[in-house]
């Protein structure tokens, strides 16, 4: 009887193990498996190898996803193990990210000035807040130098409207404060310009390059003197680097030819 009871208990135990698939899934671990936990030293070696494999001299070779995931991991490693190597790797990656963000911001603004099709146009007066007299004087000097070959031109569909009258005052301020040539042109007198420059708003402001006979839109809608000049300075300062893209350069040349 006792022997039969033992066989029954063994059979029940065996059936229980057979029904537990997870137990037999661990075939590599075996019956007498003992897991040895990863040591801190092994984890440090793994982190050190990860940092060493990052292409810090050519971070642009990474995709956006790879860069983002790598930066997150490097930050975590640096926080837990703030060694010189780890922190410098993190600093180099954050500097790269900052530089990329600044380049994007500059090129985004240039793209908006070149083609504002997808912009939200505010007919109110736009402006840059600038109370530093030294910076203001520097901008005035730059504007006078840059605007020797350009004319600030406002096209208007309604010469007698209040909006146009406000823009005329802004243009007079620009001439007085910056000493640049400004014009206000009624589209009724030059109807061909409306189609050529794709003018859709009541007033639109452009730069005309005298030597190149080329037009560049600065803003649709009302714009104050300071904003008009600052946007032009921004455009002139950064456009050469931006137009290294062959397609954009081709489009600008095409626009120049079509404006003559």
Tens digit of each residue's pLDDT (9 = 90 or more) over 122-181: 544 444 444 445 555 566 666 666 667 889 999 999 999 999 999 999 999 888 888 888
User: What is the reported pTM?
Assistant: 0.55
Place of tokens 């500097």: 95
Mean pLDDT value of segment 74-100: 93
Whole-angstrom Cα Rg for the chain: 34
Residues ≥6 apart with Cβ < 8 Å to 75 = 90
The answer as to CATH 3.30.360.10 being correct for domain 133-259 is no
Place of tokens 């971070």: 59
pLDDT per residue over 16-44, tens digit each?
545 554 444 544 444 444 454 556 677 77
Q: Give exposure, 192-209, as e/b (b: 16+ Cβ within 10 Å).
A: ebeeebebebbbbbbbbe
Q: Which residue has the higher pLDDT, 109 or 143?
A: 109
């Amino acid at each position: 009887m006792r022997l039969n009871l033992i066989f029954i208990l063994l059979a029940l135990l065996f059936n229980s193990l057979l029904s537990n698939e997870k137990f037999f899934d661990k075939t590599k671990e075996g019956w007498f498996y003992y897991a040895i936990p990863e040591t801190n030293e092994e984890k440090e070696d793994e982190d050190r190898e990860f940092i060493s494999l990052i292409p810090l001299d050519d971070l642009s070779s990474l995709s956006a996803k790879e860069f983002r995931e790598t930066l997150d991991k490097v930050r975590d490693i640096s926080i837990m193990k703030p060694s010189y190597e780890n922190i410098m790797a993190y600093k180099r990656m954050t500097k790269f990210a900052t530089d990329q963000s600044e380049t994007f911001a500059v090129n985004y603004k240039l793209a908006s000035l070149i083609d504002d099709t997808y912009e939200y146009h505010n007919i109110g007066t736009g402006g840059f807040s600038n109370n530093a007299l030294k910076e203001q004087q520097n901008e005035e000097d730059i504007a006078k130098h840059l605007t020797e070959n350009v004319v600030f031109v406002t096209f208007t569909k309604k010469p007698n409207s209040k909006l146009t009258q406000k823009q005329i005052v802004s243009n007079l301020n620009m001439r007085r404060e910056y000493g640049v040539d400004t014009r206000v042109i009624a589209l009724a007198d030059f109807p061909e310009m409306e189609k050529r420059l794709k003018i859709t708003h009541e007033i639109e402001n452009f730069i005309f390059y005298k030597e190149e006979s080329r037009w560049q839109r600065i803003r649709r809608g009302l714009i104050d003197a300071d904003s008009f000049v600052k946007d032009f300075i921004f455009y002139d300062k950064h456009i050469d680097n931006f137009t290294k893209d062959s397609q954009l350069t081709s489009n600008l040349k095409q626009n120049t030819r079509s404006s003559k």
